[in-house]
């Protein structure tokens, strides 16, 4: 089965930690800024939506294809954001959540902490934690 790995960078004036995911994505200024993806073991591609780029049609079709497993760290976030972006509900049954797998293995639920626990060089970039304003 083919896999589509996804990672998003987003913006909303609503504080995600204080108000939760659904209020965050329902904010009128919610936007997906960057859409990172890779099919199977292909190189990662990044679409800069904030600069007017568009998610390729092949990827949009894959988001609906039940034969393609979509995967992300905290997949519920990507599902909610992409459902809002495309104004249609994506099927959670087609997704695999890396954070859930981390918990299953007894690792932390934080991407940064899990990466450090596994002694991986790449973790969450602390500079990316501050909200950025989309270029619209």
Kindly list the structural domains of the chain, giving each domain's residue range(s) and its CATH number in brackets, ordered by start.
2-129 (3.30.420.10)
- Mention every residue, 6+ apart, whose C-beta is less than 8 A from residue 16: 24
- What's residue 108's pLDDT? 74
Select the highest-mean-pLDDT range: 73-77, 102-106, 127-131. 73-77
What's the pLDDT tens digit per position in 10-36? 999 999 999 999 999 999 999 999 999
Instruction: Identify the bridge partners of residue 70 per DSSP, sorted by sequence position.
Output: 4, 95
Beta carbons within 8 Å of 22's beta carbon, 6+ residues apart: 80
Tokens of 64: 């609906």
pTM: 0.83
């Amino acid at each position: 089965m083919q896999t589509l790995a996804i990672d998003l960078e987003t913006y909303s004036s609503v504080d995600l930690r204080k108000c939760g995911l659904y209020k965050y994505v329902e904010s009128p200024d919610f936007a997906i800024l960057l859409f990172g993806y890779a099919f199977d073991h292909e190189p990662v591609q990044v679409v800069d939506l904030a600069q007017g780029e568009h998610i390729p049609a092949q990827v949009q079709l894959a988001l609906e294809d039940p034969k393609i497993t979509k995967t992300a760290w905290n997949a519920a976030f990507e599902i909610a954001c992409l459902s809002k972006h495309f104004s249609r509900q994506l099927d959670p049954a087609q997704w695999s959540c890396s954070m859930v797998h981390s918990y299953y293995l007894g690792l932390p639920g934080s991407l940064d902490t899990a990466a450090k626990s596994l002694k991986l060089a790449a973790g969450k970039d602390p500079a990316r934690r501050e909200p950025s304003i989309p270029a619209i």
